[in-house]
Amino acid sequence: MDMLGAREKRIMPIKRIYLYLALAVVVVLAGAGLKYFENQKRIASGQVPGAQVKTVKPAIGGAFTLTDHNGNRVKDTSFHGKYTLMFFGYTYCPDVCPTTLTTISEALDLMGDDAKKIQPLFITVDPERDKPEDLKSYLEHFHSSFVGLTGTRPEIDKITKSFRIYAAKAQENKEDPEDYLMDHSAVSYMMRPDGSFETFFSHGMTAESIAIKIKDHL
């Protein structure tokens, strides 16, 4: 056998070794990748013991002191012990507020005895015009368990800020400073008995869907 032939015989086994190593690496990587995606799928579906998906609640809510529709000073802690359903609006509101309060009232009626676990609150964003007696008269048209809350402008600004509620005057009448509308957020909040955030309800939800969602969070 010449030297060239001997050299080729030595090279061929080396090539096979590299080929086998390369194939082994591919198999290992493929297996690891498959295992990773299987684990991710199991974690997402909650099938892996000890795997927990943490839900971060938004920082909504905080301490407040306001005046209810009977003229009594109340705090956020005055409503602890029950879930609160909070909506921010004003009595001069032409559409969104009466519609939302009516829907909430209907949802509470649909809930039966579970409605006793809920304290609905209507917080004005227009304290200059919404005095306790105005809120009391206004809320007579809605569910009897509603409590209206008002306060000074700084007090209302504080609670709207802590609950991330937008509110601002709009369509002001220059000839009459009392004639204006308010642009404001139309979301409703469900807070836990300890005052922390539980969930929210978008404007436009039906009474049935609100009632179902509330029960799911009790």
Average per-residue pLDDT for the chain: 85
65-217 is a CATH 3.40.30.10 domain: yes
Write down the pTM of the prediction.
0.74
Print burial letters for 41-66: b (CB count within 10 Å at least 16), e (below 16): eeeeeeeeeeeeeeeeeeebbeebbb
At residue 174, the pLDDT reads 85
Domain boundaries, the chain: 1-52, 65-217
Mean pLDDT of 97-120: 98
User: What is the mean pLDDT of the segment spanning 134-163?
Assistant: 98
101 or 44, which is more confident?
Answer: 101
Question: For the residues 127-145, what does the mean pLDDT come to?
Answer: 98
Confidence check: pLDDT of 4 > 70: no
